[in-house]
A and B are shown apart, each in its own frame.
Chain A
Amino acid sequence: MIDLSVDIAGIHFKNPVLAASGTFGYGLEFAELIDLNRLGGFCTKGLSIEPLEGNPPPRIVETHGGMLNSIGLQNIGVRAFVEQKLPHLRKYNTRVIANVFGFSPEEYVDVVRVLNDGDGVAAYELNISCPNVKKGGMEIGNDPNEAARLTEAVKRVAHRPVIVKLSPHARSIAEVARAVEAAGADALSVMNTILGMSVDIYTRRPRLGTVMGGLSGPAIKPIAVRMVFEAARAVSIPVIGIGGIVTAQDALEFIIAGASAIQVGTANYADPGVTIKIIDGLTAYCRQQNIAQIRTLIGTIRC
């Protein structure tokens, strides 16, 4: 029997495969398509203190090896999540990570306070790296001092472990990683989308309603693997790897480079069952490589 379980910030995950925020709704949307109980866990759509309407369309553009999005954190608001979604999610044996967003540090704290009362949330993931909103988001994540200050503020009120989701746009990912670790972060998610742009040559307009958007998908995987490698070397807290994962082989690259778990994002759109296939693929790899416990593989890169 292969043991795929991993422990992150004191939370036990049955396997290291999580679904990434923004690509998995509130989880329930997938219940008809996959067995949620098999997942290590999933991150909710980013939750803000008030519901958000999101950005004007078009909100996505397909690109080579991926896509650009500018959804703009459309969500039902944290209170509606706790009241309407969480009771249903408690029926499933999987870890629910609430992704938290605010337009100011105070708003992040307010969202976490509401979530503290919600039964069934395992951890919080702070989105300080969204490229699709003008305030909050990426402008906090790119500055080590601001990122640390926010982490500290949230840690003071949080009843659950705090994972900080980093931006690829920081001058040095290692620097931000160290700053939020020092501020008390329990783990890191690396990384969010990369800012990009696409132009319609027949209308001469940007192909996204907001001009720019976040690039995701297999095209960004090498960048994400490098970022995870750098972040994992810089800190001693666990790093969760994200960026273009489509297969178990992709997931294994991240784990070997230093990720304690991985998140699957864009691939969920094209194949709602992809997370289950990745879990099965990890088991097959471990069996073939005579690895009894996948946690022994974390950060074993030779270089």
Chain B
Amino acid sequence: MMDVTATVLNNAREYGDYWRLRVKIPAHYAVRPGQFAMIRPSAQWEPILRRAMVFYRVEHRVHALEAEFIYRVMGRGTRQLAQLRSGDRLDVLGPLGNGFTIGERPAVGRDVALVSGGIGIPALYLLAAELCQRGFVPRLFHGDRTSDAERGLICVDDFYALLGRDHVLCATEDGSYGQRGVVTDLLESALQSGAWRPVALYACGPEPMMKRVAQLALQFHIPAELSLEAAMACGFGVCLACVQRVRLDGRITYVRVCCEGPVFRAEDIVWEEPVVDRSPVGGMRNGAR
């Protein structure tokens, strides 16, 4: 973990509220799939907190890292990030969190399920790339409320290039891209077909999706890891704001999403009571506040 002043290489709108930020980080560290950084425009104190963002893609250069972040403009912090131009400075604290774990490839079965909703999709790209490298065959199920007429769905073109078009299945609630409906229905029918039996499942998305994914993983006996989000002040374990209830050593306790997470085994998560959210944006709100 280190805090460095990075330089913006490129920061542009993809479509709608989705933006892609490319930065040069003058440091060398390894980033595990699912790890994140805490980001703010350099020395900017309003709003007071940094934003948590998962590393989308990372390339190692001679004296630096080039990293990409995908974010959704939803509040003051992300609006400010969208103002950044090439050459601007930003503070990047990272890499943070535990990241996903990839088990040994079993003797039988190489299929892996990746499930994402909305702004959850960037958490799965580095993971998908590493799974491919290790000889697994990941299939991505991705859903969003709607799509863009020209650009389709956020990040999906990158996954097409990585996994092949037939290994990316999409759903939109308005039916404008892929199947109409929610991504968990896509996942469920794929699992029920019986022809495809993933040896592992990884997911990142809004809470209703994650709860359903956890149920399906349990029902079909698939080991699952879910990347959660939580309101976070520091990102490195001191504020104790981002706690999640989990089962640990036979008891139920709070652990920090930033340090013990953000990735948890599905069976360890103790879900809180649902809250009816009628916000116009909905979905994942944090990390893109």
Q: Which A residues, 240 to 294, have Cβ-Cβ distances below 8 Å to chain B?
A: 246, 266-273
**A-side interface size class:** 35 or more
> Given contacts A32-B1, A74-B254, are A270 and B48 in contact (CB under 8 A)?
yes
> Given contacts A62-B47, A246-B45, are A268 and B240 in contact (CB under 8 A)?
no
Q: Which of B43, B45, B231, B279 contacts A57 (CB 8 A)?
A: B231
User: With an 8 A cutoff between CB atoms, is A53 at the interface?
Assistant: yes
> Given contacts A272-B93, A272-B236, are A71 and B241 in contact (CB under 8 A)?
yes
**Residue numbers in A under 8 Å from B239 (CB-CB):** 22-23, 60, 69, 71, 269
Q: Quick check: B231 and A59 within 8 Å, CB to CB?
A: yes
| Bound Cα distance A22, B238 (Å) | 7
Minimum distance in angstroms from B219 CB to a CB of chain A: 27
User: With an 8 A cutoff between CB atoms, is A218 at the interface?
Assistant: yes
Minimum distance in angstroms from A49 CB to a CB of chain B: 19
Q: Quick check: A54 and B240 within 8 Å, CB to CB?
A: yes
Q: Which B residues, 275 to 289, have Cβ-Cβ distances below 8 Å to chain A?
A: 275-280, 289
Q: Which B residues, 42 to 81, have Cβ-Cβ distances below 8 Å to chain A?
A: 43, 45-50, 77
Best-buried of B46, B239, B277 by chain A (most CB within 10 Å): B239
| Bound Cα distance A273, B253 (Å) | 31
User: With an 8 A cutoff between CB atoms, is B237 at the interface?
Assistant: yes
**Which residue of chain B has its CB nearest to the CB of A66?**
B48
**Residue numbers in A under 8 Å from B46 (CB-CB):** 64-65, 218
Q: Which B residues, 80 to 126, have Cβ-Cβ distances below 8 Å to chain A?
A: 91, 93
Minimum distance in angstroms from B252 CB to a CB of chain A: 10
Q: Which of B77, B240, B253, B275 contacts A203 (CB 8 A)?
A: B275
**Which residue of chain B has its CB nearest to the CB of A74?**
B240
Q: Which of B45, B50, B237 contacts A25 (CB 8 A)?
A: B237
| Bound Cα distance A32, B93 (Å) | 12
Q: Quick check: A202 and B279 within 8 Å, CB to CB?
A: yes
User: With an 8 A cutoff between CB atoms, is A29 at the interface?
Assistant: yes
Q: What per-residue 1/0 map shows which CB atoms of A37-67 lie under 8 Å from chain B?
A: 0000000010000000110111111101111
**Residue numbers in B under 8 Å from A144 (CB-CB):** none
> Given contacts A246-B45, A270-B40, are A202 and B277 in contact (CB under 8 A)?
yes
**Which residue of chain B has its CB nearest to the CB of A266?**
B48
| Bound Cα distance A32, B50 (Å) | 19
Minimum distance in angstroms from A51 CB to a CB of chain B: 10
Minimum distance in angstroms from B26 CB to a CB of chain A: 16
**Residue numbers in A under 8 Å from B238 (CB-CB):** 23-25, 29-30, 268-269
Q: Quick check: B48 and A65 within 8 Å, CB to CB?
A: yes
User: With an 8 A cutoff between CB atoms, is A303 at the interface?
Assistant: no
Q: Quick check: B240 and A59 within 8 Å, CB to CB?
A: yes
Q: Quick check: A269 and B234 within 8 Å, CB to CB?
A: yes
Q: Quick check: B278 and A74 within 8 Å, CB to CB?
A: no
Minimum distance in angstroms from A272 CB to a CB of chain B: 6
Minimum distance in angstroms from B25 CB to a CB of chain A: 16
Q: Quick check: B48 and A62 within 8 Å, CB to CB?
A: yes
**Which residue of chain A has its CB nearest to the CB of B43?**
A271
Best-buried of A218, A246, A270, A272 by chain B (most CB within 10 Å): A270
User: With an 8 A cutoff between CB atoms, is B3 at the interface?
Assistant: yes
| Bound Cα distance A66, B240 (Å) | 17
**Residue numbers in A under 8 Å from B2 (CB-CB):** 32-33
**Residue numbers in B under 8 Å from A203 (CB-CB):** 275-279
**Residue numbers in B under 8 Å from A71 (CB-CB):** 239-241
Minimum distance in angstroms from A239 CB to a CB of chain B: 25
| Bound Cα distance A24, B232 (Å) | 15
User: With an 8 A cutoff between CB atoms, is A141 at the interface?
Assistant: no
**Residue numbers in A under 8 Å from B230 (CB-CB):** 57-58
User: With an 8 A cutoff between CB atoms, is B186 at the interface?
Assistant: no
User: With an 8 A cutoff between CB atoms, is B27 at the interface?
Assistant: no
Q: Quick check: A268 and B49 within 8 Å, CB to CB?
A: no
**Residue numbers in A under 8 Å from B253 (CB-CB):** 53
**8 closest Cβ pairs, A-B complex:** A202-B279, A25-B238, A269-B234, A60-B241, A269-B233, A59-B241, A202-B278, A74-B240
Q: List 7 A-B contacts (CB under 8 A).
A: A59-B231, A59-B241, A65-B46, A74-B254, A266-B233, A267-B45, A269-B49
